[in-house]
């Protein structure tokens, strides 16, 4: 269902009441590689009005440069400094607290790509599926192999 901005909201000065727009990406601007109808036109119109659009997502499967390419491919005008996936946020946070250890990543290459760019060491990503175990505590304490640098 497509909704249009009511002309009364435009005439009321509502759009003049803010300078920044934060928008989620997955399910708001696009689904997979399909743009949601009207999303591109709306975001581009807001940018043409001088609004700063910040692209945020809790999807950590991609790094900022990958989201930048996706935005370009789908017709959104985005720049790296306006894209904030959680993969980037975690790297920025760890850098801000001067994190000095290795990261064990439960996630994807989006996270490791951002950690690498930030100069934060990490262990290689393991298999996508964990073994089926009856006793998780036993598996973690007995069978999980830790980084020898920290044992």
d(CA 143, CA 151): 14
Known catalytic membership, residue 26: yes
Known catalytic membership, residue 6: no
Strand order across the 52-57 sheet: 20-24, 52-57, 83-85
Of 14, 65, 17, 72, nearest in space to 43 by CA: 72
d(CA 31, CA 132): 32
Among 24, 128, 143, 147, the active-site one is 24
Residue 28, CA distances (Å) to 34, 109, 115, 119, 146 in order: 11, 23, 27, 32, 40
d(CA 78, CA 54): 8
Among 26, 81, 143, 147, the active-site one is 26
Q: Catalogue the active-site residues.
A: 24, 26
């Amino acid at each position: 269902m497509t909704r249009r901005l009511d002309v009364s909201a435009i005439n009321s000065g509502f759009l003049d009441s803010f300078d920044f727009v934060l928008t989620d990406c997955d399910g708001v601007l696009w689904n997979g590689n399909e743009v949601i109808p009207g999303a591109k036109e709306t975001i581009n119109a807001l940018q043409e009005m001088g609004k700063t659009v910040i692209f945020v997502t809790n999807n950590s499967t991609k790094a900022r440069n990958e989201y930048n390419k996706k935005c370009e491919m789908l017709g959104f005008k985005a720049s790296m400094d306006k894209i904030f996936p959680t993969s980037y946020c975690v790297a920025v946070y760890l850098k801000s607290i001067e994190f000095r250890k290795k990261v064990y990543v439960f996630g994807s290459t989006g996270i490791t790509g951002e950690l690498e760019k930030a100069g934060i060491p990490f262990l290689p990503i393991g298999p996508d599926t964990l073994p089926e175990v009856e006793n998780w505590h036993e598996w973690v304490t007995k069978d999980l192999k830790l980084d020898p640098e920290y044992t």
